[in-house]
Amino acid sequence: MFKTMGTAALLCSTATLAAAQMQCEGLTPEALGLSGVTFTEVAPVPAGEDSPAAQCRIRAVTAERTGTDGRDYALQFELALPDVWNGDYVHQFNGGNDGEVKPATGGLGAGTGDETPLARGFAVVSSDAGHDGKAVTDAGLAGGARFGFDLEARQMYGYKAVAVLDPLARQIVEAYYDNEIGHSYGIGCSNGGRHAMVAASRMPQSFDGLLIGAPGFNLPKAALQHAVDVQALTAVTGDLATAFSPADLQTVADGILQACDALDGIEDGLVMDTANCQASFDSAALQCAEGQNSACLSPEQVTALNTIHAGTADGGAPFYSDFPWDPGIAGGGWRFWKLESPIPPWEKKPIIAVMGAASLAQIFTTPPTEVAGDPAALEQFLKDFDLTARADEIYDTSDAFPESAMEVMTPPGSDNPELAEFRDAGGKMILFHGVSDPVFSVNDTADWYGKLDTNNGGNAGEFAKFYPVPGMTHCSGGPAVEGFDMFAELVAWVENGTEPQAVTATARASNPDLPETMADISRPLCPAPQVARYTGSDPASADSFTCE
């Protein structure tokens, strides 16, 4: 870790550092000293629509095998080698159930600003985490999670894929440029954020910096929340899509704003003081009074919301985590995850009732349960899932699965984190998480960070920063200013020792949830536990706020 280029190399121009010692066309694994790797495509790609920078793009496969389920598996990856290399490297961790090689750019949308790491000159690798999500064609919408019937496929998805691919990708980069990598970074959101946290625990000396968005580090527990949600929401009308209309969710957001918007010193459609909001807002105020039939909710709707936010229906400990009340609940991402989608093959079911149900059944419980791949059957699985009787299946093992889903997916030590090896190696990490994330709770990340800080004597901020993003839903979107460049902050911290403080967030035109009132504003994102408070004159400017 932390290979440092010599003084001469640092003084060279970027173009000199990029001088590849090999030609892209005709490049072979043998020329790079590789074994057990097959290149499926090697091509020079010009800067343009298909790539943010001119690059040599390698698509390849390794770790080919036949699983215990009789299916073929392999680790497929893409490596982008920019023509103008800055000497550094990014491992791009992807989200969802993986199963697809996303373009290797290192971009996160919200989180990496307007310019991807590839465009900045970083070599970038991306993979499918050891399984092809489209390989199982006879299982319908459940096919993408069918790999969960093979233990090693679960392990590759959970923690092995990065450990297998990372040294291989580095070897290619260094051979191609005939130069050592200067600094290495890992970047990911959602399941990709979980991959990054796993790397900090299992590979503590591998990355100089980790950018971690909305980390699903308790992913099997979060899958139990899908059952909590579906059961609570279908109890309202019998149908997920009609449980809450968009207007109903806006009513909820308006109620939260009425109680909490001014807590940070200004009414601007954003609740920056999330902690105090939880004490100020009472969901009972949303319920229709006698004779009222608009801009209010039914008792059944209020009950459902209370259950979802508590993470349990009976007032006991949540199966996963509780969730904060935040006006981002009116964002399209919240609806897409929990209520309905615009995807015709899903019969407009939300993500939790399709991908979430298949994952809980086939990846995150032991033994796995084969489920039919039609939307109605997947939703029914969550409706029928007995949380009281079956929740512990995420911890269960068997002869075929000697590691539980929690052991496979969760970073070791995450229930009481210290990250001493990562810290002592000089590693730095930045976490960000939308306060209105509908699938992975910002409260779970806040709890993890609080334990990390305690276990580091109150000094976790010396190597790890956590930034809640008010109004933002899952990884991006929501009625929020969610355009920010945490990657630049991480690079400055790693390479220059510049410790991040307040990070300016701006409105992104690509955000479909952005209200017109937020189109031209900026706000500071404060490292937890600080809160942004209005202390200046111009209400549109981040400079008018102070992190306190």
* One-letter identity of residue 178: D
Burial status of residue 411 (CB atoms within 10 A of its CB: 0-12, 13-18, 19 or more): buried
> How confident is the model at residue 2, as a pLDDT?
40
SS3 260: helix
**194, 215 contact by CB (below 8 A):** yes
Question: Could you tell me the pTM of the whole model?
Answer: 0.95
**Domain range annotation of the chain:** 1-182, 220-244+282-324+339-407
Q: What is the pLDDT of residue 13?
A: 34
Residue type for position 308: I
Q: What is the set of active-site residues?
A: 190, 437, 474
The Cα–Cα gap between 404 and 397 comes to 5
**For residue 457, what are the contacts with CB-CB under 8 A and spacing of at least 6?**
none
CA–CA dist 467, 486 (Å, integer) = 10
Q: Are 142 and 110 in contact (CB under 8 A)?
A: no
CB 169 within 8 A of CB 77: yes
Which has the closest alpha carbon to 325: 206, 443, 235, 459?
Answer: 443
Q: Which long-range contacts (CB under 8 A, 24 or more apart) does 313-316 make?
A: 313/228, 313/231, 313/232
| Residue 93 near residue 184, CB atoms below 8 Å | no
**Residue 15 neighbours by CB distance under 10 Å:** 10
Q: Cβ contacts of residue 422 below 8 Å, gap of 6+?
A: 200, 201, 204, 205, 429, 463
Contacts of 443 (CB under 8 A, 6+ apart): 321, 322, 323, 324
394 and 403 Cβ atoms separated by less than 8 Å? no
Let me know: does 239 contact 230? Beta carbons within 8 Å. no
Q: Compute the C-alpha angle 327/330/334, nearest 5°.
A: 105
Query: Where are the alpha helices (H) located in 320-373, listed in sequence order?
Result: 332-338, 351, 357-362
**pLDDT by residue for the chain (548 residues), tens digit each?**
444 333 233 333 344 454 565 889 999 999 999 999 999 999 999 999 899 999 999 999 999 999 999 999 999 999 999 999 999 999 999 999 999 999 999 998 789 999 999 999 999 999 999 999 999 999 999 999 999 999 999 999 999 999 999 999 999 999 999 999 999 999 999 999 999 999 999 999 999 999 999 999 999 999 999 999 999 999 999 999 999 999 999 999 999 999 999 999 999 999 999 999 999 999 999 999 999 989 999 999 999 999 999 999 988 999 999 999 999 999 999 999 999 999 999 999 999 999 999 999 999 999 999 999 999 999 999 999 999 999 999 999 999 999 999 999 999 999 999 999 999 999 999 999 999 999 999 999 999 999 999 999 999 999 999 999 999 999 999 999 999 999 999 999 999 999 999 999 999 999 999 999 999 999 999 999 999 999 989 999 999 999 99
> What pLDDT score was predicted for residue 12?
36
**What gap in Å lies between CA 492 and CA 501, rounded to an integer?**
12
| DSSP code string of 437-453 | -SSS-HHHHHHHHHHHH
Question: What's residue 14's pLDDT?
Answer: 40
The C-alpha atoms of residue 344 and residue 487 are separated, in whole angstroms, by 36
Residue 466, Ramachandran bin (φ over 0: left; ψ between -120 and 50: alpha; else beta): beta
Which two tokens mark 195? 């991959």
pLDDT at residue 315, rounded to an integer: 86
Q: Which one, of 375, 267, 371, 258, lies nearest residue 325 by Cα?
A: 258
Task: Give the whole-angstrom CA distance, residue 178 versus residue 22.
Answer: 9
Predicted pLDDT at 82:
97
CA neighbours closer than 13 Å in the CB half-sphere of residue 347: 13
Task: Provide the 10 A C-beta neighbour count for residue 521.
Answer: 19
Amino acid at 87: G
Tokens for 184? 């290495």
